[in-house]
Structure formats: structure tokens, C-alpha cells
Amino acid sequence: MCHTAPRYDEPGMEETALIRQAKKGDLEAFNQLVLAHQARVYNVAYRIMGERDAAEDATQEAFISAYRKLRSFRGGSFRAWLMRIVTNACYDELRRRKRRPAGSLDALVQVGEDSAGDLQVMAEAAQDPEAAAEQAELARAIQDCMNHLAPEFRIVAVLADVQGYDYKEVAQAIGKPVGTVKSRLARARARLRECLQRHGELLPAAFRLESETIP
């Protein structure tokens, strides 16, 4: 009997089918999973590490680790499972360096609907083409404050406010309860607001926060 080999370039090929084949040792199926997720994994690594070379190394290490651990994946969100692997890779590198990340998170001025209140309002206002210079100034101010967040707060801010993951996915990614995610995210947002207020001179006048808005 002639068996037709599975095609991995078909638009309808489901992720679960690719995972099932990859678990059997099908490298082509795993490569398709890599292609589907590598941009997202790299973006998370870059925003945590802040350096392209470090992000590329973390991404490569994450996918190598994912391939080795694939048989331990028991279902659920494959994306969140990958995020946990890449955030662990970034944690390991940061611990090795024994310093905090020093990168750029200017994408925070373009956060989505799940973002923190005051920061989102400022971001939306900055989308006016006439305010391009102010937007760049705001991005630099946010970046400066983001650089001072400890990794555990920075990571939840990246996953929730930049990548737009829900609390459950962030919890899976960092291996902590949802309550911990909410607590860390609230603290990260509060520290960002406080930092922006302390460094108000870095902000364009239209985006300066009034002191009463700070928790």
C-alpha cells in the first residue's frame, strides 16, 4: 500500500498535527512550528534582553530546548509553553551576566488595548502624525524607566502590555500563578508611572502625569 507523506505547506495544516508529527521525530514538522513562532519568540527575547545578538542567542537556545523537551508538552497553549522556555533562557543569561537588561522597549508607546491606563492614553495621543517628535521623546522616557525595572517585572510587562497575552498565558509563560502575574504587572505599571513622574522633564508637556494619578 502506498502512503502519501504529509504536506506541511498546506494552509489548513493544524498546529496540533505538526506537534504530533514533531513528537515522532519529524524534523520538517518541527521546522514549520519554528517558522510559525520564531518572530514572536525573538520579539519577546529582544524586548527582555535589549540586544539583538543576545536575543538571537536566546531564541536559538529556546528552540533547541523546545525540540529536546517537545515530548513533555502535554497540550494547552503551545505559544505559552514556548514563551516559558524563552523567558527562562533570558533569565539564565541575565543571571550569568549578573546585571539587569539594558535594552529598548520603545514599542510600549504602541501597546494594545490590554495596556496600563495612563500609558495607553499617552500612547494613543502620540499616534497623531504631527506629534512624531513628541512620540520619540516619550519613547525615550519610557525606555529609560523600563531599564530600571527588575527582570521579573519587566518580563510580565513585555508579555502582557507589549505582546498582549492574557493573564493565563503570562502565568504559563513564567510558571507562576495568575495572582502573581497580576501583582507583578500592577507593580511594574505603578513603578513606570512613578518613574515617569520623577523624570517629568524627559516628557513632552502634553504627556506629563499629574502627581495625583500615581497610586
Mind listing the pLDDT tens digit for each residue in 150-162?
Answer: 888 988 988 888 7
Mind listing the pLDDT tens digit for each residue in 166-197?
Answer: 999 999 889 999 999 999 999 999 998 888 88
pLDDT value of residue 204: 56
pLDDT value of residue 198: 75
Q: Which domains does the chain have, with CATH numbers?
A: 15-97 (1.10.1740.10), 106-213 (1.10.10.10)
pLDDT surpasses 60 at 33:
yes
Angle formed at CA 193 by CA 159 and CA 163, multiple of 5 degrees: 15
pLDDT value of residue 20: 92
Which phi-psi region, left, alpha or beta, contains residue 112 (left: φ > 0; alpha: ψ -120 to 50)?
beta
Q: d(Cα 104, Cα 124) in Å, to the nearest integer?
A: 20
pTM beyond 0.85:
no
Residue 19 near residue 33 (C-beta atoms within 8 A): yes
72 Cβ contact partners less than 8 Å away, ≥ 6 residues apart: none
Residue 32 near residue 11 (C-beta atoms within 8 A): no
Residues 68, 69, 72, 77, CA torsion sign: negative
